[in-house]
Structures are given as structure tokens and as C-alpha cells.
């Protein structure tokens, strides 16, 4: 078990460009979460998948953000028309099937810088 992986680890882009991040959860984990973390803050919940179904989206997830998990395995988070305020660390986490509050296992994150 190699843990949650995220790609890329770092991304620098210009304002207005689109970016896509990938998250590979721990195998057999059916729950997947995306968070955003800005400097000096804790992670903020963005969205949650159970298998391929996106069950909840935060109001933080504006229309420029979209997340998918088409086959219930890896997930992608796309940001369209990036803005400087999108600069943050984007964290992915996964948890196994089971009780409501299973431990979430976090990936190393993708750090986005929008110039």
C-alpha cells in the first residue's frame, strides 16, 4: 500500500489558465475528499466522493471548479480560468468503507501558484 498520491506536487500557472490535478487514493478506499489549504490556515473542505458519486460540494467550490471520479478510483480536480486567489495547497484524502468517521489518509498535496 503506497498511500494517497497526488500529481503534480507543484504547479505554477498564469492567471486565466486552466489546471487539473490528480489524486490516486489508497486502493479499496471508496471515499475520497478534496481540501484546500491556504497559508496559516487549516484544510477547508471542498468536496466528497463515495465511489464515483459526488455527494457534497462546499460553497467554496465555485463554478470554475469541477471534480470527477469517473470509475470510483482516481479523482481529478480542475480549476478553470485560474485567479490569484486560487493559489493554495490542494489536498486529497481517502478513507475506507465502514463507519461514518473512518480515518482520512492524506496525500502530500499539490501546491498551486497563480501568477
Partner 1 sequence: AQSVTQLGSHVSVSEGALVLLRCNYSSSVPPYLFWYVQYPNQGLQLLLKYTTGATLVKGINGFEAEFKKSETSFHLTKPSAHMSDAAEYFCAVGGGFKTIFGAGTRLFVKA
Nearer to partner 1, 18 or 55 (CB): 55
CA gyration radius, the chain? 13
- Three-state DSSP class for residue 27: coil
The site map against partner 1 for 54-93 (x = CB under 8 A) is -xx----------------------------------x-x
- Residue 42 CA to residue 21 CA, distance in Å, equals 20
- Out of 13, 50, 73, 76, point to the residue binding partner 1 (CB under 8 A): 50
In the complex, what is the shortest distance from the CB of residue 98 to partner 1, in angstroms, rounded to a whole number? 12
- Out of 1, 2, 42, 85, point to the residue binding partner 1 (CB under 8 A): 42
- Residue 111 CA to residue 55 CA, distance in Å, equals 25
- Out of 19, 107, 112, 114, point to the residue binding partner 1 (CB under 8 A): 107
Strands (E), the chain: 5-7, 10-13, 19-24, 31-37, 44-50, 53-57, 65-68, 75-79, 88-95, 105-106, 110-114
For binding to partner 1 (CB under 8 A), which residues are involved?
Answer: 4, 31, 33, 35, 40-45, 48, 50, 55-56, 91, 93, 99-101, 103-109, 111
Amino acid at each position: 500500500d503506497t498511500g494517497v498520491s497526488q500529481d503534480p506536487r507543484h504547479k505554477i500557472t498564469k492567471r486565466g489558465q486552466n489546471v487539473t490535478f490528480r489524486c490516486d487514493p489508497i486502493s479499496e478506499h471508496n471515499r475520497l475528499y478534496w481540501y484546500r489549504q491556504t497559508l496559516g490556515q487549516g484544510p477547508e473542505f471542498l468536496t466528497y466522493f463515495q465511489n464515483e458519486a459526488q455527494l457534497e460540494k462546499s460553497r467554496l467550490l465555485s463554478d470554475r471548479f469541477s471534480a470527477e471520479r469517473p470509475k470510483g478510483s482516481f479523482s481529478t480536480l480542475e480549476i478553470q480560468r485560474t485567479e490569484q486567489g486560487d493559489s493554495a495547497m490542494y489536498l486529497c484524502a481517502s478513507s475506507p468503507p465502514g463507519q461514518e468517521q473512518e480515518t482520512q489518509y492524506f496525500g502530500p498535496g499539490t501546491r498551486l501558484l497563480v501568477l
